Amino acid sequence: MAELLIKHLSSPEWLAYTIAALVHCGLLLAIALCSAAVGEWLERKVSARIQDRLGIVRVGGRFGWLQPVADGIKLLCKEDIVPKAADRPLFKIAPYINFCAVYCAYLALPFADGWVALDLNAGAFFLLAVLGLEIFGVVLGGYSSGSKWSLYGAMREAAQVVSYEIPLGLCVVLIVVVSGTMNLVEIGNQQAGWFFNWYLFHDPFTFVAFFVYVACAVASTNRAPFDLPEAESELVAGFMTEYSGFRWVFYFMSEYAAIFVVSGLGALLFLGGWNGPIPIAWLLGLTADNHEFLGWLGNLLGMCNFIVKAFLGMTFMVWLRWTLPRLRVDQVITTCLKYCVPIVSAMLVGAMLWSFFLPGGVIAALTKPDSFPCSAWERTVPTLCVGGERDSGAARKEARMQSLPAVRSHAEHGNEGYFQEENR
Amino acid sequence: MQAERVQPDTVEFDVRTDEMLINMGPQHPSTHGVLRVVLRTDGEVVSSVVPHIGYLHRSAEKIAEKLTVRQYLPFTDRLDYLSGMNMNLGWALTVEKLLGHRVSGKTRHLRVIIAELNRIASHLVAAGCMGLDLGSFTPYMWTFREREKILNLFEEICGARLTFSYLLPGGVKEGPPEGWLGRCEAFLDQFEPVIDDLHALLTNNAVFIKRSASVGTLPPETAINYGCTGPVLRASGVDWDIRRDGEPIYTEMYDGYTWRVIAPVGGRYPDDHPYPPIPREAAVGDSWHRFFVRMLEVVQSMGLIRQAIEKYAAAEGELDKPIEIRKKLPAAGAYLETEAPKGQMGFMIIGDGSAIPWRARIRSSSFCHVSVLPELCRGVLIADMPTIIASMDIVLGEIDR
Amino acid sequence: MNAEKIYDLLQKPFKPWLVGRDFEAIDPWIEISLEGLPEIARFLRDQDELAFDLLNCITAVDYFEPDAKKAEKVDWQPHLELLYHLTSLRRKHRLVLKAKLPRWKDGRPGELPEAPSLADVWRTADWHEREVFDLAGVRFTGHPDMRRILCPEDWEGHPLRKDYQMPTEYHGIQVK
């Protein structure tokens, strides 16, 4: 976008980049807030239907569409209570830290091909690192509330998030190994085409890793059955007990925004991101080959696809919350250390070996076993250089391109469409 | 009158530095009322538990010394407010025992229907709230939906949903309205699939089992020594139900009914109704078994109600009218325990020849169940406290009176 | 086993402590003197044919008529009675034990009468005796934790006594 501004409006570089950054941030903030709003509506409606009641039916028509807006207005107008025993500066700043951490994760999350605020080579790494920062907000909030119950919630949160970062990270590393890059846009592009290009169906190890990822995602965002930090029946509201009004809104928003991010990340890593089960954009001819605007339209469709997948993940988490009871803290840590970590480690080893001997997905391995010109070493070296230059993955990419429908990569390859190998 | 001044409790102040003293306060979502539990914890492990009660003390026993036995009936509703009919029944039967008054068979069968319906309603609350305390919100909604239907039936018969004052000494206030028995049967017919849903969501749910199996295991000798009764005692494997083993004036209500006491004697439950498999991790006397006994008792009560409806329809005669309002009590005392949903509820009335009792005593089961908490909860995690308290199914109304 | 047979069983070891009985009452009771209470209780619990393992209830009844005119018509002297209701789950029988106490220790108003605690015989007695202390003002010797249970810890007076006067205020709150 900055280039656009420079080209068309001949604005100075610093201004162009600043405006581009602000626009990006604004859009992402809108998405984050909307995800919180829609998440809240989803939560209330889905939970109501599961519990055999109607849910919100008044504000904004029969389905209560405007309820989140009403809630937001109400919470803004609430009295700002700071408990007497609370540590005022920390108490006030904690929710914002939480939200900032989650919002930073949005900066690296791609919504479509090339549509990402920060196109980082180490996008996956950045996202995981920043998501882990939200624990500061929770621990600070719990500690500074001046209440033992809040402190309990904060301590449990610390233990839980720190523990679950390991299997979560390992799941992401598994996909990085399989795809050969930490660039999230690349990972999305590599899954272009039909649903069997998704990394979910790449090999049995990624398939299992997806379910481990789901469990770890639920745990790292404090959703039931792992919602001890905010265990309502034991700790009233855990670390959020003393927060009311606008500060509570920030915690709430950051929770739903985080759910959207991890769902989106899961959709991107395993479910093709913006590439749907059916490549509608390609089938309709909405690619950049034909016209830049059509390509933009195709990207828009992809973005909608991505958002739908993220919301499906969100719905699944809501469904899970209202079905299962809560696990105890020792059971949560046991699940992490005794089940998630060994399983995902084994899957990682399996996926690495698979990538070494049979690069390309299950379909490629089954259908074209002899189309791998590169030696195993040539293939592995680029894979091991994570975070390296894009071109170092070229050899590996070539191998993939010969076995898969070719990838449409942003600004790198020429006019290549799908199913190129028939043309080669 | 000068009485000794007792210093406020100071035992809680000698805390070591590696311990935390936490108040699971009178206001807490999962203490089932205004119960205060002071925990000493080392991290998440609880080393000592001291329950404090009395926040709902309303001097029920003193008030009974000012009112006639019929006037006192609404106060009994407020004891275990989740099963007001059983409280009314206990008081009514105690008065009848004192007076030597015997009611007709038709009244007894109606009392069985009402008491068992209220048992189902109370156990539904217990099951739902146990799920709620463990984090499972949905079964709570479903059990309350079913409870609403029972409360609608009660509203038809006596006009109230919570504080009934319906089972009066000597009889009942009024007979059931037209078609009420048919509606009871209809309720029971549509209720059976719901129990399967609850089994799927709670009883057989892996997370629920993980949270409640082998948590707060109460050995039978400890249970008896601490005075635990009802489902808590039966879940520890003791075959004791006062509907079968109690005093004749109470057990004759259940004469001629086919039913079995729900207790895991020898690890097995009576097989007159099919029940889901017992998980491996559950030990007899733990929270899971206490929960399970209540679920099975619900099914048991459904069978009893069906039998009672038949017997009531077949019984001859009229329903008894209650005793007169200012009936004089003999100068004697009578104590009777009945099987309320939470345990054995005992009422004692000592008369002095006038219509106003000299002394009334209320012995509640939850009082003893809370007293056993310090013994049960030593060494558990904080997260197990709501599980254990919920499995005990206490209600502060009857503890504090 | 009915109350008469239980009384016969108690006769041999505890004759001096068996003060009275009534087998025709609605709830047959045996009256014992206070000093024999712990031993009799232990015997009732441990003896095989009796096996009273469940203590249902401890009740205190205050026999005192505050109205002077009615006090002339009653046939008892002012005293306190402790009632112990026992059940045997194994043998399926019941018993009521009665013990009489003076209303004030040594006749001095304000000094609470004393009774031996049964908290180490039946753990149920622990909280029930605390309640009797709280509401009726009977001090139990040998109790592990003798303090009020239902009323606040610094409450004055014992509400279930017939001559109890409600205080007018409590910590500045108007009560009456």
Nearest residue to B289 (alpha-carbon basis) of B271, B265, B259 = B265
**Predicted pLDDT at A6:** 61
- Which chains contact B through at least 3 pairs of Cβ atoms less than 8 Å apart? A, C
Question: Residue A325: which of B136, B141, B142 has the nearest Cβ?
Answer: B136
Q: What is the mean pLDDT of residues B104-122?
A: 93
Chains A and C touch (3+ CB pairs under 8 A): no
Q: Which long-range contacts (CB under 8 A, 24 or more apart) does A400-407 make?
A: A400/A190, A400/A359, A400/A360, A402/A371, A402/A372, A402/A373, A403/A359, A403/A360, A403/A364, A403/A368, A403/A371, A403/A372, A404/A193, A404/A197, A404/A360, A404/A361, A404/A364, A405/A192, A405/A193, A405/A194, A405/A197, A407/A189, A407/A190, A407/A192
Higher-pLDDT residue of C107 and A100 is A100
Interface residue A50 vs chain B (CB under 8 A): yes
Question: Residue A326: which of B134, B142, B145 has the nearest Cβ?
Answer: B134
Q: Report the distance separating Cα B22 and Cα B37, nearest Å.
A: 8
A231 contacts in chain B (CB < 8 Å):
135, 383
Question: Residue A325: which of B22, B134, B145 has the nearest Cβ?
Answer: B134
**At residue B385, does pLDDT exceed 50?**
yes
Contact state of B20 with A148 under an 8 Å Cβ cutoff: yes
Mean pLDDT of chain B: 88
ipTM over 0.85: yes
Q: Report the distance separating Cα C70 and Cα B351, nearest Å.
A: 15
Domain ranges of chain B: 66-400
Q: Is residue A328 part of a domain?
A: yes
Sheet with B45-52: list strands edge to edge: B20-24, B36-42, B45-52
Report pTM.
0.85
Surface of B (44-83) touching C: CB under 8 A: 53-54, 57, 59, 61-62
Contact state of B135 with A324 under an 8 Å Cβ cutoff: yes
Q: Residue A25: CB partners within 8 Å, gap ≥ 6?
A: A107, A117
Q: Are B142 and B190 within 8 A, CB to CB?
A: no
Contact state of C89 with B240 under an 8 Å Cβ cutoff: yes
Closest CA in chain B for residue A334: B210
Nearest residue to B359 (alpha-carbon basis) of B73, B53, B149, B63 = B63
**Predicted pLDDT at C86:** 93
**CA-to-CA dists, residue A95 to A78, A79, C130, angstroms:** 16, 16, 48
Contact state of B134 with A225 under an 8 Å Cβ cutoff: no
Of all residues in chain B, the percent with pLDDT exceeding 70 is 95
Closest CA in chain B for residue A226: B135
Mean pLDDT of chain C: 89
**At residue C100, does pLDDT exceed 80?**
yes
**Predicted pLDDT at A358:** 74
Q: How confident is the model at residue B109 (pLDDT cuts 50, 70, 90)?
A: very high
A329 contacts in chain B (CB < 8 Å):
44, 381, 383
**Predicted pLDDT at A402:** 46
Say how many domains are in chain A: 1
Q: Is residue A93 part of a domain?
A: yes
Classified by CATH at the fold level, domain B66-400 comes out as Cytochrome-c3 Hydrogenase; chain B (1.10.645)
Contact state of B371 with C62 under an 8 Å Cβ cutoff: no
Q: What is the mean pLDDT of residues B179-196?
A: 92
Q: Which residues pair with residue C140 across a beta bridge? A: C115
Any idea which of A286-300, B288-302, C18-32 has the lowest mean pLDDT? A286-300
**Predicted pLDDT at B133:** 85
Domain that holds residue C32: 3-174
Domain that holds residue A324: 78-411
Surface of A (302-341) touching B: CB under 8 A: 322-331
B1 contacts in chain C (CB < 8 Å):
109-110, 157, 161, 163-165
**At residue C69, does pLDDT exceed 60?**
yes
B329 contacts in chain C (CB < 8 Å):
none
A47 contacts in chain B (CB < 8 Å):
137-138
Interface residue C42 vs chain B (CB under 8 A): no
Say how many domains are in chain C: 1
CATH classification at residue C66 = 3.30.460.80
**At residue B63, does pLDDT exceed 90?**
yes
pLDDT per residue rounded down to tens, chain A (424 residues)? 656 666 666 667 777 788 888 888 888 899 888 888 999 899 999 999 998 888 888 888 888 888 888 988 898 888 888 888 888 888 889 889 989 998 988 888 888 877 788 888 888 889 989 988 888 888 888 888 887 777 777 887 788 888 888 999 999 999 998 888 888 888 888 888 777 788 888 888 889 999 999 999 998 888 878 887 666 545 566 777 788 888 888 888 888 999 999 999 999 999 888 887 888 777 776 666 667 777 778 888 888 889 999 999 999 999 998 888 888 888 888 888 899 899 999 999 988 888 888 766 665 555 555 444 444 444 444 444 443 334 444 444 554 444 444 333 433 333 333 333 333 3
Contact state of B211 with A326 under an 8 Å Cβ cutoff: yes
Q: Is residue A423 part of a domain?
A: no
**Predicted pLDDT at A3:** 60
Q: What is the mean pLDDT of residues B290-297?
A: 93
- DSSP H or E run through B109: helix B105-133
Sheet with B343-350: list strands edge to edge: B333-340, B343-350, B359-363
Q: Report the distance separating Cα B124 and Cα B198, nearest Å.
A: 10
**Predicted pLDDT at A286:** 67
Interface residue C94 vs chain B (CB under 8 A): yes
Contact state of B1 with C165 under an 8 Å Cβ cutoff: yes
